[in-house]
């Protein structure tokens, strides 16, 4: 009996060790997203406008968390998300280029919906490099944070043969609209920036092979 217990404890230790090794060192837990608020969907729809003069005032980590959740957050125990996905294939990735965020060092982070956390991809403020090399719309530099939606058509291909390369764009639009409504409800604004050079964007963000940049969403307070 004792041997079995020691054996189980050893196995548990090993498992814990494996789980910790698989966890990226720089994962940042986010404040839980709020699932209720004071602004109705109708009011957010009425008030939403593209914002090209965002205040450079810093955002909080809770605001970043709420925005990330609005675009791709998990909303049930089956893993479904705030935005719909063709046959629940979830081909999108969501990044945030943090410039001025209280409690978050400037850097490029990837949002992990299942864990509701951020993983550091590259340290340092990448907003200027992205704007200079890939977009050229200087107003974006004022935004304290810039979200980027990318997609992998290949994640859909096992279930959806023909139109996966179009569907990732549809999904980016759906996620972006959720993001815009949340930003509006929080007293912020954003803009769907589609005018970027795909190759330069891939290079600045260090995207993987097969990962398509779909939308750039600068965000800040009004
Ligand atoms: C696919 C797409 C691409 C867009 N690209 C840009 C862009 O590169 N720069 C920009 O300032 N606005 C861009 N916009 C925002 C539109 O100009 C804006 O939605 C439109 O003028 C309507 O204004 P509203 O969003 O305030 O209702 C884009 C919008 C969409 C849907």
Give whole-number Cα distances, 64 to 1, 46, 101, 129, 196, in Å. Answer: 50, 23, 8, 21, 23
Distance (Å, whole) CA 206 – CA 175: 22
Q: What residue ranges define each of the domains in the chain, with the CATH number in brackets? A: 26-221 (3.40.109.10)
Question: Which pLDDT band holds residue 107 (cuts at 50, 70, 90)?
Answer: very high
For residue 195, pLDDT beyond 50 = yes
**Residue 12: both structure tokens together:** 């548990």
Ligand 1 atom closest to Cα of 216? 8
Instruction: Identify the residue whose tokens are 């990318």.
Output: 150
> What stretches of 113-213 show up as alpha helix (H) in DSSP?
127-130, 164-185, 198-205
Cα-to-centroid distance, 160 and ligand 1 (Å): 29
pLDDT score for 1: 38
- pLDDT bucket at 26, cuts 50 / 70 / 90: confident
Task: Let me know how long the chain is.
Answer: 222
83 pLDDT higher than 60? yes
Name the closest-CA residue to atom 27, ligand 1: 49
7 Cβ below 6 A of ligand 1: no
CA of 32 to the centre of ligand 1 (A): 30
Predicted pLDDT of residue 161: 85
- Band the pLDDT of 23: cuts 50, 70, 90: low
Per-residue pLDDT, averaged over 24-40, amounts to 93
pLDDT above 50 (res 15):
no
Q: Is the pLDDT of residue 13 over 60?
A: no
How much of the chain, in percent, has pLDDT values that exceed 90?
A: 88
What local confidence, expressed as pLDDT, does residue 2 receive?
41
Q: How confident is the model at residue 9 (pLDDT cuts 50, 70, 90)?
A: very low
Task: Tell whether the model's pLDDT for residue 4 goes beyond 90.
Answer: no
Q: Is 52 in the pocket of ligand 1 (CB under 6 A)?
A: yes
Candidate of 45, 169, 181, 192 to mutate for ligand 1, largest count of ligand atoms within 8 Å of Cβ? 192
Tell me which residue has its CA closest to atom 9 in ligand 1: 193
Say whether pLDDT at 122 is over 90: yes
Query: In a 10 Å sphere around its CB, with 0-12 CB exposed, 13-18 middle and 19+ buried, how is residue 147 labelled?
Result: buried
pTM of the shown model: 0.91
Per-residue pLDDT at 22: 59
Residues 6+ apart with CB under 8 A from 142: 53, 54, 55, 56, 218, 220
Q: Which residue puts its alpha carbon closest to atom 19 of ligand 1? A: 50
């Amino acid at each position: 009996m004792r041997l079995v217990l020691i054996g189980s404890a050893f196995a548990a230790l090993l498992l814990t060790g494996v789980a910790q090794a698989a966890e990226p060192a720089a994962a940042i837990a986010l404040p839980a997203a709020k699932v209720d608020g004071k602004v109705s969907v109708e009011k957010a729809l009425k008030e939403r406008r593209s914002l090209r003069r965002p205040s450079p005032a810093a955002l909080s980590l809770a605001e970043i968390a709420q925005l990330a959740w609005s675009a791709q957050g998990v909303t049930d125990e089956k893993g479904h998300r705030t935005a719909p996905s063709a046959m629940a294939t979830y081909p999108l990735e969501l990044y945030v280029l943090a410039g001025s965020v209280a409690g978050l060092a400037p850097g490029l982070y990837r949002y992990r919906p299942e864990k509701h956390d951020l993983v550091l991809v590259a340290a340092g403020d990448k907003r200027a490099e992205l704007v200079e090399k890939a977009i050229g719309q200087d107003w974006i530099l004022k935004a304290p944070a810039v979200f980027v939606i990318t997609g992998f058509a290949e994640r859909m291909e096992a279930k959806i043969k023909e139109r996966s390369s179009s569907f990732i764009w549809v999904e980016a639009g759906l996620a972006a609209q959720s993001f815009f409504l949340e930003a509006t409800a929080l007293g912020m604004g954003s803009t769907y920036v589609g005018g970027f050079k795909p190759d330069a964007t891939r290079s600045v963000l260090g995207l993987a092979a097969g990962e398509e940049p779909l939308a750039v969403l600068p965000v800040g307070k009004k």
